[in-house]
Amino acid sequence: MQESELRDLIARTLEGILDPCSMAAGAPAGLVSMGLVGPVDVTPALGSNKADVRVTLFVTEPGCMVSALFQITAKEKLEKIEEIASADVRVDHGHLWDPSQMTKEYRERLGKYRSCQTRHMQKANA
């Protein structure tokens, strides 16, 4: 597998991990869409045709209660990928996340959801 293909697979895998805050907001999104995936390093594993992967994750707030769950889940899912020998997943609590780091597609979807929700609440209160 080419490195670019492996990187795509890593991104799809991380996108499959849903952010609970986005779920609570009514517009579920994966880690990639939320902008919670930082640098991804892929290096050849010694003595095999597999790769060692190092992923940095971000959180929306420094005190995020699910950061350890993100870390554990990402490591488990990445290490199930046949082409990955090992996965080192770290959380950068010092990274200052803001909504502009969400993908454009997710920001648009979230905006539409919030707009619809606001209109519904206005009708309910009228």
CATH number at residue 112: 3.30.300.130
**Domain of residue 60, residue span:** 3-124
Task: Give this prediction's pTM.
Answer: 0.87
pLDDT for res 35: 97
Domain count, the chain: 1
pLDDT for res 110: 85
> What is the residue-level pLDDT of the chain in tens, covering all 126 positions?
899 999 999 999 999 999 998 888 888 999 999 999 999 999 999 988 999 999 999 999 888 899 999 999 999 999 999 999 999 999 999 999 999 999 999 999 888 876 666 555 666 666
pLDDT for res 117: 60
- Long-range Cβ contacts of 3-10 (<8 Å, 24+ apart): 3/42, 3/51, 6/42, 6/51, 6/81, 6/83, 6/84, 7/40, 7/42, 9/81, 9/83, 10/40, 10/42, 10/53, 10/55, 10/78, 10/81
Instruction: Please answer whether residues 14 and 55 qualify as being in contact, where contact means their C-beta atoms are separated by less than 8 angstroms.
Output: yes
